[in-house]
Amino acid sequence: MLVTTARPTVFGIARRAWTSLFAAAGSMALLFIIGYGLMVGLDIAIDRMSHLLAMPTDAVLKDLVKNNRRLPWLGVSEAFGRDIAVCFLRALIAAPLAVAMYRFILLGEVRRFYVLSRLSFKFAVWVVLLQVPVMVLSWLILFAGNATALVPLLTVLGVAMLLLLMQTAQLFPAVAVEERTADTSARLETALERSEGMFWLTLISLVLTFLPLILVRAVIMRAGAKLAQHVPLAVPIGLATTGFVIVMLGSAVIAWLFSYGAHKKNTPQPAGQQPLSAT
């Protein structure tokens, strides 16, 4: 098990995450290729299905609510069901990739083939359980429309939930390395204890590591309408590509944070002695 006893820096975490990503890609190329192909296929299928079934997009629903127009509740229910199904399918596809990345960094294990195991399914269930509340809240914000008091309240609640998810992120590598625990509440409690004192380290490390991908994804979303006219598959392929890198890179960041959080020393340092920071 990888152990980091000295508190790492945000730049050290970002550098190690990117380095680990390229190292894992070289060692587990077939797994990366299969996982990437599945994620691209899912995004293309979602895009085509939404067009064929004429499902309303979030932008269309937002305009209807904003203009106080009647909502097509059949289309809304279809869109909500689609989002739930997509959430589960994404988690199911991403789970073997994330588990492989965690075990590669923390245990030095190389998984050369894409396998949906019992461990991967358990990991996917955790992902869905933590994502669904955020998804439901985002739909509530969408339907709140022009309710001036409700939208800010729901937005603050949404931000709080995202921060809570960030603080519990260290449960994912624990699940991936099959760390034993008494029950679900003990798993969550352990993750929160390990992230204690690491809020800013975790937040800034994630932002710094993901900044290039955030910019690329923003460009794709902004240019989506024009791209769709000339190259219909460019947008889903672009979003799937950035989503794939986010899964692998996010797993790398959390793995390095876990290597410190699960083993950090809570005892005070001797007088005049300061802990060294990993870079």
List, for residues 146-181, the tens digit of each pLDDT value.
555 677 777 788 888 888 889 999 999 999 999 888
CA 195 from chain center: how many Å? 17
List, for residues 191-243, the tens digit of each pLDDT value.
989 898 899 999 999 999 998 888 877 776 676 556 666 666 777 888 888 88
Residues with Cβ within 8 Å of 20's Cβ and at least 6 positions away in sequence, in order, are: 101, 104, 105, 252, 255, 256
DSSP 195: T
Rounded to 5°, angle at Cα 77 from 65 and 67: 10
Residues with Cβ within 8 Å of 58's Cβ and at least 6 positions away in sequence, in order, are: 79, 142
What is d(CA 212, CA 265) in angstroms, rounded to the nearest whole number? 33
Position 112 scores a pLDDT of 83
CA atoms within 13 A on the CB side of 254: 25
Please provide the average confidence, as pLDDT, over all residues in the chain. 82
Q: Helix, strand or coil for residue 180?
A: coil
123-137, 142-156, 187-201: least confident range:
142-156
List, in sequence order, every residue forming a beta bridge with 278; answer none if it has no partner. 8
Position 3 scores a pLDDT of 81
Position 72 scores a pLDDT of 61
Does 63 have pLDDT greater than 90? no
What is d(CA 147, CA 143) in angstroms, rounded to the nearest whole number? 9
Tell me the mean pLDDT in the region 109-125.
91
Does 265 have pLDDT greater than 80? no
Position 52 scores a pLDDT of 72
Tell me the mean pLDDT in the region 252-264.
90
What is d(CA 275, CA 279) in angstroms, rounded to the nearest whole number? 13
pTM (2 d.p.): 0.82
What is d(CA 86, CA 215) in angstroms, rounded to the nearest whole number? 24
More confident residue, 23 or 82: 23
In percent, the amount of the chain with pLDDT more than 70 equals 79
Does 74 have pLDDT greater than 70? no
Amino acid, res. 10: V
Position 222 scores a pLDDT of 72
Amino acid, res. 261: G
Under the banding of pLDDT at 50, 70 and 90, the label for residue 98 is very high
Position 227 scores a pLDDT of 62
Does 92 have pLDDT greater than 80? yes
Tell me the mean pLDDT in the region 60-78.
63
What is d(CA 104, CA 106) in angstroms, rounded to the nearest whole number? 6
Query: Cβ(101)–Cβ(125) under 8 Å?
Result: no
Tell me the mean pLDDT in the region 74-98.
84
Q: How many residues does the chain have?
A: 279
Q: Helix, strand or coil for residue 8?
A: strand
